[in-house]
Amino acid sequence: MKIRLLLFFCCLIWACHSPKGQQSSIKKEQSIHKFDSVNKEYLDRDSVKLNGDISMMSSFKATTVKLGKPDSIITPDYNNVSQSYKEVEFKYCHFKGVLFEKYQDSLVFRSINLSKSPGWFLSYKRRKLSSNTTIGDFKKLFPNSIENNELHGTSMDKNQWIRIAASQDVSDTAWVFLFDRDSGKLKTIEFWIDD
């Protein structure tokens, strides 16, 4: 009786470790990986423009023609910079509440504080993302992301932070939208870069 019971358990263990069982679990892992490797809703950086005509990556010269002279160009303390577009030295270039990283003649958009940039906006799919944009407006553009991507932090009682992927591929690079909880209006837009 003990021998039969032992043989039964050995056959059971052998069946669980057979290649057919392994193939099944590999297929499940691959299908799960495929599902997780694509963002259904995202805001492609190349499709976004500042004030309707300035690309998120543009030349310094072309941008100053449209926006005027920058308010300031500052060399950051690189020990306190957690992320940057390129892993080379750069400067922060400020235009009326808009922050760019400046690499020689290239500018890379990083953020806009809409309270310091009255009338300014980011455009996407013929829509303006401005200080007049509400959570309801935003939800029409990104219905799934607004429900599933709220970031929590120290100011969550005053602000609602919403993260939107920056590409169809899954990465940590993303747009972050800060809404005032009381008014429901957009205050800040940041571009977070995967480091």
Q: Where are the domains of the chain?
A: 45-192
Gap between the Cα atoms of 115 and 177, Å rounded:
13
Each residue of 31-56: pLDDT tens digit? 333 445 778 888 888 899 999 999 99
Each residue's pLDDT tens digit, 120-134: 999 988 889 999 999
Q: What is the pLDDT of residue 194?
A: 73
Global confidence as pTM: 0.74
- The contacts of residue 76 (CB under 8 Å, 6+ apart) are 90, 91, 92
Place of tokens 């003990």: 2
Q: With a cut of 50, which residues of the chain have pLDDT below it?
A: 2, 4-35
The CA distance from 106 to 65, in Å, is: 14
- pLDDT value for 13: 46
**What is the per-residue pLDDT for 79?**
81
pLDDT at residue 85, as a whole number: 82
pLDDT at residue number 22 = 43
**pLDDT of 111:** 95
Predicted local confidence at residue 127, as pLDDT: 87
Q: What is the DSSP letter of 99?
A: E
Nearest CA-CA partner of 121 in 172, 53, 75, 37 = 53
